Chains A and B, each alone.
Chain A
Amino acid sequence: MSLEKNKSIVRKVTEAENNRDFAVFEELISPIYVNQSNQIQGFEGYKQFLAKLFTAFPHWYETIEDIIAEGDKVCVRLRIDTGAHTGEFDLLGIKVPPTGKQSTVKSIQIWRIVDGKVVEQEGVYAELDLLRQMGLIVPTGEGKKLFPQNGS
């Protein structure tokens, strides 16, 4: 499987997420898909995760800022514009009521593609930024002194 082909799969999946085009996922997400940090397993798990995410953030939008590929891996740096948080957010089982706030966070991910389908995705989101921008966490006095650039 060529590197360019794998990168185009990742671009297509990202575009499908932005367009809420679940039919594309049938084609490109493997039945054995796993995302350990988000506790997602399988194709059905993937769709359910996104359905919950888009309920909380109906305008969630991802932009690929950087992309490389090697072997069966594709790595991306994303910018995520969450749009207004208007629905209940299921954060790994904790239900967070809508805050109405929006935020922009970055994510860095490594995906694995096998036989034209995504089998694995691992990533880091700037979750503390997200929670802070949503007004759900605030720095302590010590935190404000150490990281004044983060604001309060």
Chain B
Amino acid sequence: MSLEKNKAIIRKAIEALNKRDLAALDQFIAPDYVDHTNQIQGIGSLKQFYSRAFEDFPDFQRTIEDIAAQGDKVWARSTITGTALTGKKMELTSMNIFRIVNGKIAETWGGVIQKMVIPRAAGELAKQLL
């Protein structure tokens, strides 16, 4: 499986998410898919996870910023944006590893960091501690 082909699988899966085409995910994600970090098992659970995400953030979008591949693995850094129903805008950086088996994403690792929440949360805590 070529490196470019593997990277294309990731791009197409993310494109399907951005278009809200959850049915298309079957082309890119294995039925027994496992997300090790977020403890999601099976493509059904993944689709449920994203259905919920799209309800909570109707303008959810994911953009790949950087991508590299070797062997059966792909690393990608992406930006996730969306507006919560409260009106709050979120912007997250996600760093993920994908393992491709037989042309589909079989395993992933990784998660997100919300850019501003950590300093803000720490600021509030520091005020209480000091």
Binding site for B on A (CB under 8 A): 3, 37, 66, 68-71, 73, 75, 77, 91-97, 106, 108-110, 122-127, 131, 136-137, 149
Residues of chain B contacted by A95 (CB below 8 angstroms): 126, 130
Nearest 6 pairs of A and B residues by beta carbon: A75-B75, A68-B70, A124-B95, A94-B122, A70-B68, A108-B95
Question: Considering the chains assembled together, what is the distance between the CA atoms of A91 and B77 in angstroms?
Answer: 22
25 A-B pairs within 8 Å (CB atoms) are namely A3-B70, A68-B68, A68-B69, A70-B3, A73-B66, A75-B75, A75-B97, A91-B122, A92-B118, A92-B119, A92-B122, A96-B122, A96-B129, A108-B110, A110-B66, A122-B77, A122-B95, A124-B111, A124-B112, A124-B113, A125-B113, A126-B111, A131-B121, A136-B122, A149-B39
Across the interface, B73 reaches (CB within 8 A) one of A68, A71, A91, A136, namely A68
Is the CB–CB distance between A70 and B70 below 8 Å? yes
Interchain pairs with CB closer than 8 A, number: 86
**Minimum CB–CB distance for A63 against chain B, Å:** 15
Closest residue on chain B to residue A91 by CB atoms? B122
Question: Considering the chains assembled together, what is the distance between the CA atoms of A70 and B123 in angstroms?
Answer: 38
Residues of chain A contacted by B125 (CB below 8 angstroms): 94, 96, 136-137
Question: Considering the chains assembled together, what is the distance between the CA atoms of A30 and B129 in angstroms?
Answer: 38
B109 CB–A CB distance under 8 Å: yes
Closest residue on chain B to residue A92 by CB atoms? B119
Bin chain B's interface residue count: 20 to 34
Closest residue on chain B to residue A108 by CB atoms? B95
Closest residue on chain A to residue B37 by CB atoms? A106
Is the CB–CB distance between A66 and B70 below 8 Å? no
Residues of chain B contacted by A110 (CB below 8 angstroms): 66, 68, 75, 77, 95
Residues of chain A contacted by B122 (CB below 8 angstroms): 91-92, 94, 96, 131, 136
Could you list 6 further interchain pairs (A-B, Cβ under 8 angstroms) beyond the known A108-B95, A123-B95, A124-B93? A69-B68, A94-B119, A94-B122, A97-B130, A110-B95, A149-B39
Is the CB–CB distance between B70 and A109 below 8 Å? no
Q: B92-129: contact bitstring with A at CB < 8 Å (1 yes, 0 no)?
A: 01111100000000000111110100110111011001
Is the CB–CB distance between A68 and B77 below 8 Å? no
**Minimum CB–CB distance for B2 against chain A, Å:** 12
